[in-house]
């Protein structure tokens, strides 16, 4: 049985454009996937658009959002060191992975959608039947990916991602650069969301796996691991 290799992409953007509000990676959206992959002995590579330090959204570190697993990783100096020294997407662009996973946090809205290296990585892996997974605002990284036929990757695919109503609940409607839910629909995606906002929702469309929000982190990790097991 071959060792599976997973690329986890995190944002490098730590501030909203107003320069007053901090953002970054939503911690639990990385920790659950990281923990599941680590326990299975997978080769894990963490990269960000420019490489280097990963800003973490301070809201994701609050007690009401940070579960026990995420806190254990946040308290782990080795893991914190991994977050400080991510590879750049350019560094990993020539590598082949069994899965590409895009973690969220509002920062991803600013440095994922128009990153050409990320788009090419996702396109190539998806077209070679590798798993492409994204959660919450990480789904922004799928928005502008076009396949070899010129069609958007998300066109006619069942997907989810952070909903516009959830942006309202998070009081971020005035701060975000676009409405992710609306843009997914505009690109022809079959967008789905949980009946109750801020609850777990994971959508699988063959090798494309998306999670709606931070509360989907545990389920997302389980589903991706299950799909990777099938691929082994």
Kindly report the average pLDDT of the chain as a whole number: 97
Which residues, in sequence order, are bridge partners of residue 209?
Answer: 133, 204
- Residue 88 pLDDT > 90, yes or no? yes
What's the mean pLDDT in 122-130? 98
Question: What's the pLDDT score for residue 231?
Answer: 82
User: Domains along the chain?
Assistant: 5-231 (3.40.50.880)
**Contacts (Cβ under 8 Å, ≥6 apart) of 134:** 101, 102, 104, 141, 142, 161, 209, 210, 211
What's the pLDDT score for residue 204?
98
Q: Is the pLDDT of residue 205 over 90?
A: yes
| Digit-coded pLDDT (tens) for 159-171 | 999 999 999 999 9
Best CA proximity match to 104, nearest among 182, 196, 215: 215
Q: Looking at residues 134-158, what average pLDDT do you find? A: 98
Q: Give yes or no for residue 2 having a pLDDT over 90.
A: no
Token pair 């929702």 is at which residue?
201
Residue-level pLDDT at 230: 87
Residue with tokens 């509002």: 106
Q: What is the residue whose two structure tokens read 């920062």? A: 107
Asked whether residue 61 carries a pLDDT value surpassing 90, the answer given is: yes
Residue 201 is given by DSSP the state: -
Q: Enter the DSSP assignment of 85.
A: T
| Position 78 pLDDT exceeds 80 | yes
- Residue 232: its pLDDT value, please? 77
Residue 40's Cβ-side half-sphere holds a number of Cα atoms within 13 Å equal to 23
For residues 22 and 211, the answer to whether their CB atoms sit within 8 Å is no
């Amino acid at each position: 049985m071959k060792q599976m290799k997973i690329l986890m992409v995190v944002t490098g953007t730590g501030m909203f454009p107003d320069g007053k509000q901090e953002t970054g990676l939503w911690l639990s959206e990385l920790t659950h996937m990281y923990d599941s992959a680590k326990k299975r002995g997978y080769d894990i590579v963490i990269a960000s658009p420019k490489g280097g330090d990963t800003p973490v959204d301070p809201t994701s570190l609050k007690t009401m959002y940070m579960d026990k697993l995420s806190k254990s990783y946040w308290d782990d100096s080795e893991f914190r060191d991994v977050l400080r020294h991510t590879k750049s997407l350019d560094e990993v662009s020539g590598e082949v992975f069994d899965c590409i996973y895009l973690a969220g946090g509002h920062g991803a809205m600013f440095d994922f959608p128009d990153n050409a290296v990320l788009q090419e990585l996702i396109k190539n892996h998806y077209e070679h039947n590798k798993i492409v997974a994204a959660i919450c605002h990480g789904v922004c990284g799928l928005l502008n990916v076009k396949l070899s036929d010129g069609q958007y990757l998300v066109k006619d695919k069942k997907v989810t991602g952070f909903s516009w109503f959830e942006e309202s609940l998070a009081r971020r409607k005035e701060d975000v650069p676009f409405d992710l839910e609306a843009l997914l629909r505009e690109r022809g995606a079959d967008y789905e969301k949980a009946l109750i906002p801020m609850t777990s929702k994971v959508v699988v469309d063959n090798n494309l796996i998306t999670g709606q929000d931070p509360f989907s982190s545990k389920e997302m990790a389980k589903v991706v691991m299950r799909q990777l097991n099938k691929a082994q």
